[in-house]
Amino acid sequence: MTFESKNNETIVLHAGHRSDPTTNAVAVPIYQTTSFQFDNTEHASNLFALKELGNIYTRIMNPTNDVLEKRLAALEGGVAALAVSSGQSASMIAVQNIAQSGDNIVSSTDLYGGTWNLFANQLEQMGIEVRFVDPEHPENFRNAIDDKTRAFYAETLPNPKLRVFPIKEVADIGREFGIPLIMDNTAAHGICKPFEHGAAIIASSCTKYIGGHGNSIGGIVIDSGNFDWKAHPERQPYLNQPDPSYHGAVWTEATEPLGPVAYIIKARVTLLRDSGQATSPFNAFLFLQGLETLPLRIERHCSNALEVANFLKEHDKVSGVIYPGLMDGEFKKRADTYLNGSYGGLVGFELEGGLEAGQKFINSLNMFYHVANIGDSRSLAIHPASTTHSQLSEDEQIATGVTQGYVRLSIGIEHIDDIKEDLSQALDSI
């Protein structure tokens, strides 16, 4: 029996799993195993040769992880997905799957600090140049292209600037040249579907809103199936030329019987196989539990965050509020276009007292947790300049939207009165 739906509330409960074929268990079982018995030598050979798909080793795939992959692919409107060990792993694999030493990608400057560090340092050390451009003007992406540009990269709802990315505008530019747009949708799962606007790949953290309870680290790479990797073979050589790491397979040809999944299959059987960045089945199980309530939680996150943003806007200790729903002009237009009437659970604000004021505010909170995370059911707060973005230079901090007086809030699902009461008393302490 199969059941299909286009509604998020139904997808997160039913996609990819009805019951366990062995026990009829409704809950997805945790297949806590390293390896899987082959039926015979022919079966084993076929699996390794990709003549048929199946379980070999949990580093490559696992039945519990498989349900998570199918469910998130269905949620985002993709064709297949790859569960990995963290959001950082997802970003790394998404890029490395189509870019190697001597190549470049063009990335938005509006990035989470960890991603900026990954791109500006680790990828650069591997020989992959990352060209950072301001997404305020989509044409900046076109202007940064050369013959070695393999991908565009951006965040839907960038943390901490919270200026919604112009997905369609940049995706359209990329498709002219055979360049896919990779979107980090971490802060917008449940409110934005980048594939509907032309994005080719999603690379997100599951740790945040998907998990929702701050108990597991993991990531997901999702293939839209809507990008023609064959259209510009010179632009995407690693999918269109023989791959020496897999018996000379040409991925766009080898995967044709399976559907438009060349990108995600290559990522699974080469990068995941070789790097070992797999998520554990237990973590996948916990993400599945969180995913079941994502549509309900995100409604409360968004409604609470909007009320907090309006509360902070009127407070005399706050010099500015950063929130998509309160922005003007093109930034507000993009928020309305891509976020479907919800503006996310993140709120930033500025304190005129700079570093000292920001830290005093954080230290005065009672209910809010002071942690380096977002998307938890609990409300969280942090001072990015001294923590998440402290490895960046001052110029890099400014480029990503971080000042000395900037505070980032991840608004939880507690009662709004309790949230505002804690914020109020902390602001009064400054």
Bridge partners, residue 322, by sequence: 348
More confident residue, 353 or 64: 64
Closest Cα partner for 126 from 93, 84, 85, 153?
93
- Which part of the chain is CATH 3.40.640.10? 8-289
pLDDT, position 161: 87
Q: Which helix (H) or strand (E) holds 182?
A: strand 181-184
Q: How far is CA 361 from CA 318, 352, 410, in A?
A: 11, 12, 15
The answer regarding whether domain 8-289 maps to CATH 3.40.640.10 reads: yes
To which residue do tokens 């080469």 refer? 270
Residue 181, pLDDT > 70, answer yes
Residue 425, pLDDT > 70, answer yes
pLDDT confidence bin for 3, thresholds 50/70/90: low
pLDDT confidence bin for 50, thresholds 50/70/90: confident
Confirm if 49 and 58 have CB atoms less than 8 A apart: no
pLDDT digits (tens, 9 = 90+) for 326-375: 999 999 999 999 999 999 999 999 998 888 899 999 999 999 999 999 99
Residue 1, pLDDT > 60, answer no
pLDDT, position 2: 58
pLDDT confidence bin for 199, thresholds 50/70/90: very high
Residue 254, pLDDT > 90, answer yes
- Which part of the chain is CATH 3.90.1150.10? 295-428
pLDDT digits (tens, 9 = 90+) for 143-162: 999 999 999 999 999 988 89
pLDDT digits (tens, 9 = 90+) for 293-311: 999 999 999 999 999 999 9
pLDDT, position 113: 82
pLDDT, position 290: 98
Confirm if 346 and 162 have CB atoms less than 8 A apart: yes
Mean pLDDT for 73-92 is: 98
Mean pLDDT of the chain: 95
Q: Hey, what CATH topology would domain 295-428 get?
A: Aspartate Aminotransferase, domain 1 (3.90.1150)
pLDDT confidence bin for 398, thresholds 50/70/90: confident
pLDDT digits (tens, 9 = 90+) for 260-297: 999 999 999 999 999 999 999 999 999 999 999 999 99
Residue type, 412: G
Measure the CA–CA gap between 188 and 197, rounded to whole angstroms: 14
Residue 387, pLDDT > 90, answer no
Residue 388, pLDDT > 90, answer no
Residue 189, pLDDT > 80, answer yes
pLDDT, position 52: 86
